[in-house]
Amino acid sequence: MSTTPRWLNAEERRAWLAYIDFSTLLNDHLNRQLRRDAGMTHADYSLLAHLSSAPDQVLGMSELAQRLKITRSRLTHAVNRLREAGLVDRREDPADGRGQLAVLTDRGRNLLDEIAPGHVEAVRRAVFDVLTPEQVRQFAEIGEAVSDALHRAEAAETDPTVLPWRRR
């Protein structure tokens, strides 16, 4: 294996720095919108959204941690906080006596239904209103290509300790 770094050329560096800038700004924008409208973070909204799209609005804690790319410990804290707010519940997994399930409550579903329009509007204004239809198509293709490559790399990972959802 070569030890010479494969530095980014000027156009690649421009694209990378633009990605870092817009992803940081977008995450902050969405966090502020959700805190203002619902008193929650974008991370909590994502957790609720994953549950809402799951069959019966239920996911195993390990699978949810993997989808969110966080440690199981961090997920436990988030679920406990959302449980105290009545948005999520936990129960034992009947298929695996050691496992736990996260369940979206009716209150959590109702909150998502209430805040989703404002969240979608924030996404639309920040991203899609500033892009042409062709740029939206390219944006989707780029996102899919990078996501596919990262999913393949994750699946090929042989050291489970580097995957956060496998850590406590």
Residue 8 has which token pair?
């980014």
Report if residue 60 sits inside a domain: yes
Between CA 10 and CA 21 the distance in angstroms is: 16
pLDDT tens, position by position, 85-107: 999 999 998 888 788 999 999 99
Between CA 111 and CA 44 the distance in angstroms is: 12
Name the residue range of residue 96's domain. 11-126
Q: Looking at residue 147, what is its pLDDT?
A: 95
Report if residue 132 sits inside a domain: no
**CATH number of the domain enclosing 98:** 1.10.10.10
If one compares 15 and 168, the residue with the highest pLDDT of the two is 15
Count how many domains the chain has: 1
What is the sign, positive or negative, of the torsion defined by CA atoms of 79, 83, 84, 87?
Answer: positive
Entry pTM: 0.86
Report if residue 100 sits inside a domain: yes
Nearest-5° Cα angle at 47, 45 to 48: 65
Report if residue 139 sits inside a domain: no
Report if residue 101 sits inside a domain: yes
Range 136-162 average pLDDT: 90
Report if residue 99 sits inside a domain: yes
Report if residue 145 sits inside a domain: no
